[in-house]
Structure 1
Amino acid sequence: MAGRLSFTVGFLIVASVGLLPGACAATTYTVGDDLGWTVPPNSSYYDEWASQRTFQIGDSFVFNWTTGTHTATEVSTREEYDNCTKMGIILLDAGVQVTFNANGTHYFLCSEGTHCEQGQKMIIKIGDGIAPSFAAPSLSAAAAALSALFFSTLAIFFLN
């Protein structure tokens, strides 16, 4: 009976880990795939690239370019993105990897010359694209998963 209980508890622990936030494997994306981060062949290239993927918490994005001078500049708002505002957090080196650890919408553009106006800009939506409030929802999800594990273990223990 002790062996069966140990197996059951072990199974519940392993199964519940999948319920915890961030338990899924993160993906590393090379922005633009083979094209990389450069002036695209058409102004909708990066919108199309991003729309074909679902980005999750923990995913990373690598901004690569091999020719020309580029930046990966993160601007704060959709208006700044739409207007190609060139002031924001600037990543100057090719190959820089950015990882997002919360849901939200992020706006990137190239702040060199007219690259942004030519379509070198992209919106990255992590999860549902809505930034979390200050009350951490991931903690409540983790607490619910651990609570379920605890009560399931108690039920199995007393039913055996």
Structure 2
Amino acid sequence: MNMKYVIVLVITITAITEGAEYTVGDDMGWMIPPSPDYYASWAAKYYFVENDTLVFNFEEGVHDITVLTKEDFNTCNTTNPLFQTPDPGTVTDLSSDTIYFTCSFAGHCAKGQKVAVYFASAPLPPSPGPSPSESAAADQSPASRPFKFVSEKMGTNRKVSVTMA
């Protein structure tokens, strides 16, 4: 095999397994959008896979990141969130599924500050992942706050990494 093709293949596989970074709302960030379908249209522009990172940029005290069940998302019921943080930050999904994000501030969800993001399964890397000791050390990083969604409503266990700005 030609060496330049091998290098291109390795770079492509590395890029796929590391995941991409997306700023929710692009330049607008995470706020009450100009139209109720703004964030659905934003998400439709991209193909998200496991290990991709969503960056939530917003002014502290004005918005938050709230994760809901599909049912609560559809009705904008933020009284029983699966996860919530008042801080801007990043979310990396480590499993394939849909995560339902909104802002719990009064009226924000109803005005369209909500987005459902589906993460597809990422292709498997060509070589084995880090050893368990390396993986455990990475999970203990103070900059990353991993958590698991454990919800009877969802019926699933998920591992998502959240890093606050």
TM over 0.5: yes
Which residue identity is paired with 2:58? W
Q: Which residue of 1 aligns with 2:112?
A: 119
Q: Which of the residues 62, 73, 97 maps onto 1:81?
A: 73
Report the alpha carbon displacement of residue 15 of structure 1 after superposing the two structures with TM. 6.3
Question: Aligned pair in 2 of structure 1 residues 23, 122: CA closer, same or farther (>3 Å)?
Answer: closer
Q: Which residue of 2 aligns with 1:149?
A: none
Residues 11-50 of structure 1: CA deviation (Å, up to 9, x unaligned): 99x9699779x85341111100111000000000000000
Counterparts of residues 102-141 of structure 1 (less than 5 Å) = 102-127=95-120
Q: Which residue of 2 aligns with 1:97?
A: 90
Which residue identity is paired with 2:20? T
Question: Aligned pair in 2 of structure 1 residues 19, 40: CA closer, same or farther (>3 Å)?
Answer: closer
Partners of 1:117 and 1:80 lie apart in 2 by 12
Q: Which residue of 2 aligns with 1:133?
A: none
The worse-fitting range, judged by mean Cα deviation, of 106-115 and 59-68 is 59-68
1:48 is paired with a residue whose SS is helix
Residues 115-155 of structure 1: CA deviation (Å, up to 9, x unaligned): 00000000010016xxxxxxxxx8xx67xx67xxxxxxxxx
Question: Aligned pair in 2 of structure 1 residues 68, 35: CA closer, same or farther (>3 Å)?
Answer: farther
Structure with larger RCO (C-alpha < 8 A, sep 6+): 1
Partners of 1:28 and 1:16 lie apart in 2 by 20
TM-score where L is the length of structure 1 = 0.64
Partners of 1:24 and 1:46 lie apart in 2 by 26
Residues 55-100 of structure 1: CA deviation (Å, up to 9, x unaligned): 0111111111137611110012x21111011121112112x11101
Which residue identity is paired with 1:98? V
Q: Which has the higher strand share?
A: 2
1:49 pairs with 2:49: no
Counterparts of residues 31-70 of structure 1 (less than 5 Å) = 31-66=24-59, 69-70=62-63
Which residue identity is paired with 1:85? N
Report the alpha carbon displacement of residue 103 of structure 1 after superposing the two structures with TM. 0.6
Q: Which has the higher helix share?
A: 1
2:27 is paired with a residue whose SS is coil
Which residue identity is paired with 1:31? V
RMSD: 3.0
Question: What number of residue pairs does the alignment pair up?
Answer: 122
Partners of 1:17 and 1:52 lie apart in 2 by 24
Partners of 2:108 and 2:85 lie apart in 1 by 15
TM-score where L is the length of structure 2 = 0.62
- The structure number with the bigger radius of gyration is 1
Structure 2 unaligned regions, length at least 5: 128-165
